Amino acid sequence: MVTPPPNVTGKLHIGHAMFVAIQDSIVRWNRMRGITTLFVPGSDHAGISTQVVVEKQLWNKEKLTRHDLGREAFVDRVWEYKHEYAGTIMKQFRRLGASYDWPRERFSLDDMLTRATRETFVRMFNDGIIYRSSRLVNWCHHMNTALSTLEVENLELAGSTMLSIPGYPAGEKFEFGVMIHFAYLVEESDERIIVATTRIETMLGDTAIAVHPDDERYKHLHGKFVRHPFVGRRIPIITDAECVDMSFGTGAVKMTPAHDYNDYNVGKRHNLEFINLLNEDGTYNENAGPYNGMLRFHVRKQIIEDLKAKGLYIDTVSNPMSVPICPKSNDIIEPLMKPQWWIKSKQLAEPAMQAARDGRLEIAPVTSEMDWFRWLENINDWCISRQLWWGHRIPAYFVRIAGGSDDSCDGNNWVAGHSEADARKRAEEKFPGVEFELEQDPDVLDTWFSSGLWPFAVLGWPENTDDFKKYYPTSLLETGWDILFFWVARMVMLGMYLTGEVPFRKVFCHALVRDAQGRKMSKSLGNVIDPIDVIDGISLEKLHSRFEGSNLDPREIKKAMAGQTKDYPDGIPECGTDALRFTLCAYTSSGRDMNLNVMRVDGYRKFCNKLWNATRFALMKLGEGFVPTPDAALTGHESLAERWILHRLNIAARDVSAALADMNFMVATTAVHKFWLYELCDVYIEYIKPITTPEADPAARRSAQQTLYTCLDQGLKLLHPFMPFVTEELWQRLPRRASETSPSISISAYPEPRGDYENSQAEAEFELIMSIVRAGRSLAADYNVLSKSTFFISNASEASHALVSAQADGIVTLIKGCQSVTSLAPEEAVPAGCAVVSVSEEAAMHLLVRGQVDIDQEIVKIEKKVAKAAGMKDGLVAKTKVPNYEANVPEEVRETNASKIGDYEAEISVLQKAIETFLTLKGAN
């Protein structure tokens, strides 16, 4: 399994801790089962994110831009940043207990990954999968680069909203979430045609007005022209049934094919002129006429005023809309025509879908599988060019032929090579006998392109290395559902294309971590949690100090500090790695989001303390010189409590492994937590206290100790995948069986269910004992008899009497404040003055309360219990009287109902006898 490589843009956050907890638990579990495991660590260069961070630091500290340094010097600065933070990230991974194969650590720009990336580009270029084309891209003016559609976030606006835009004067805002109507004048006519737009500034690039061919309002205008009011361009009125809805708005739609994705398609269909208005820095170019040189949103304001002056402005109305945002800069994304490198995605997507259909690739949960098909069925070609300096420089070279074409948009004028020498050789073969110069594309590849090679490139591909032959395809890819398409789909598409096989057999998508209020983790909200702060604890003051030297705006820092003060008024308590990992696994479900309350981690820290104290106490009970038996086989002399706890251990081993096999971490953690806390600690260890004293029977003591040792040894192993540190520490303190040769718990054998531990009879018998204990605790609390309490247990059979008699000492131990427990034979009378609660048809629990309670009040209490039990019984009886009950109701349901009716009748009988007892007691008094 390969780990999703985190970006080298800072420290890990709690979301990274989530995948470490999940992945490492699975790896440790498999390793302990004797399965060969490879767990590869690494980090990603994160082209856009890292470059933005370093550029901000460069400006904040030195007031320099990357252009001031130049490409080579700037890239050197980014490498310095990488070395600082990649080391921090790996230290965090170690603190989180990740059991990686550390010598195989990879970085997406190291030599191995660089070779794989170049090989992939060259191969796909030569195969015609990668092509060059001038098409619309998502352009971020603030960062001067293109983004893929998946990288763009949408800001939903309910209506008119004023927004600040990066690169404009502080305090200046622009209106979004509105629809602006304006008119074009029809040539050689006094008519005008009204159109609407949410981006009025793009009207300078309009090259058509489209109407529906069946719209009677405009049939007389088919083939006519309007005149552009600012640049004088003649604009045709065209008909298009596909893009125009007659019932929406005025039924006339302006077309700006060079700045709108829908208009682009119309422009291609009708062979319209594509007029680019924008420079890369967000200013308008010479095609904008009088607006040349102005910033795009200043054009927006000015055009409205100029339309008003010409009498062409109609109105502005509020309009719900989505505004595309660059998540790195918060700039508004613009569709922009640029020559870029693209991947033909549809022919790669079909094999990826087929693999999921035929079972070669399993995607879980089902919701993610549905997303998989929905996205791949509608996939668009992938723009892989990025106008950055940090990343894999595109290994494509423009062949500038003396006296030839200078068209860099034409892919025929390009070659690809692993190096300039390789490219030159290919150019000589492509253009024999001509003089040329080679110019390497200055752009870098989309980060997701190289990340898409991760599962096989880290194993040495394209070389057929021993690692590649042994470990590819990998078994599992575990990640967040939010990068199913960014990363997972691209790994599958590229993996199948380049290697012929799916890169992994199964994909498990975990939920995204949100804060306790359900908010997305955001630095500006102050709710991004460093896992080390949860492990070590941190004061509120130190949390605030983390913002010193931050790249955040001062206003965002103030907001973030306020958020931290609200969420962590006392800071974050020290919780430790094990508690954090266990919490994250316990939270993991098949849902889309999980709200993490850090204080929940503190709850599991207390569980760790319980584990520590219980194991130390148990070791004390084992005593000096304790030697475990060579194996864990039963002797046949185990007590009921021993047989019960070994049966429960068996169930825990079965349930934990079954849940981990299904990637159900919530069930797995619940099963092991239940065994340790509620069965081993709260019951068995307490129950055997009288048996493990020096005065106890030696044989019984030795047997109880051996069973206790087995539970400690196996219980720590069960828990180890989730809590590696505390389990290792405690296991090292245990004595060893002669058969145990593992130097570490991490490579010891994981517990498996044993046939000799299965004992449903012991479970049923001990459940009766525990029901008696619970009834006793309830009675004592109800009557406030919390010390020196005396109990009597009436039994309906000799078998029940014998069972309870044998376990009386254990019952006394488990009921706090209990002085004595007496089991009564079926014919024995209950002493006068007892309160009672029914346990089952077999037994009832009586508490001696004479002289300690108000008898009249107790009779009223019991009468209420009788009425409640009678009501429940009558309701069930009524269900059994419905027509065709025997025929229509399943046998197991009928048996359950009959059993419950019997229990209610026994309870009513016991309660009525208790009333009689109290009445007798009252008369005697």
Query: pLDDT tens across 517-575, in order?
Result: 777 766 656 677 889 999 999 999 998 888 876 667 777 788 888 888 888 888 999 99
627's tokens = 């030697």
Across the range 139-144, mean pLDDT stands at 88
Strands 436-440 and 396-401: antiparallel
pLDDT of residue 844: 93
Confidence tier at 923 by pLDDT (50, 70, 90): low
Q: State how far the Cα of 80 lies from the Cα of 64, in Å rounded to an integer.
A: 17
**Strand ranges, E, within 141-251:** 145-147, 153-157, 161-164, 173-176, 178-186, 192-197, 208-211, 225-227, 234-239
Average pLDDT, the chain: 91
pLDDT number for residue 567: 84
Which whole-number Å values give the CA distances from 718 to 17, 653, 727, in the listed order?
Answer: 21, 7, 9
CB-neighbour burial class of residue 494 (10 A; exposed 0-12, middle 13-18, buried 19+)? buried
- For residue 42, the model assigns a pLDDT of 94
Query: Mean per-residue pLDDT for 825-837?
Result: 89
CB atoms within 10 A of CB 833: 21
Predicted confidence at residue 920, as pLDDT, reads 72
Judge whether 756 and 748 are in contact, CB under 8 Å. Answer: no
Note whether 682 and 814 are within 8 A (CB): no
pLDDT tens-digit map of 5-56:
998 887 888 888 999 999 999 999 999 999 999 999 999 999 888 998 898 8
- The predicted-structure confidence for 653-712, as pLDDT tens digits, reads as follows 999 999 999 999 999 999 999 999 999 999 999 999 888 888 889 999 999 999 999 999
Q: Residue 215 in contact with residue 243, Cβ under 8 Å? A: no
Percent of the chain with pLDDT over 70: 98
If pLDDT is split at 50, 70 and 90, which confidence band does 465 have? very high
* Peptide bond between residue 473 and the one before it cis (omega within 30 degrees of 0): yes
> Which residue did the predictor score with more confidence, 499 or 564?
499
Rounded to whole angstroms, the Cα distance separating 17 from 625 reads 41
Q: Which two tokens stand for residue 192?
A: 């005008």
pLDDT at 630 over 60: yes
pLDDT at residue 523 in the model: 61
- Phi, psi torsion values for 179, nearest 5 degrees: -110, 125
Neighbours of 216 (CB within 10 A): 9
Q: Is 131 exposed, middle or buried (0-12, 13-18, 19+ CB in 10 A)?
A: middle
pLDDT of residue 92: 94
Lowest mean pLDDT among 137-146, 433-442, 715-724, 771-780: 137-146
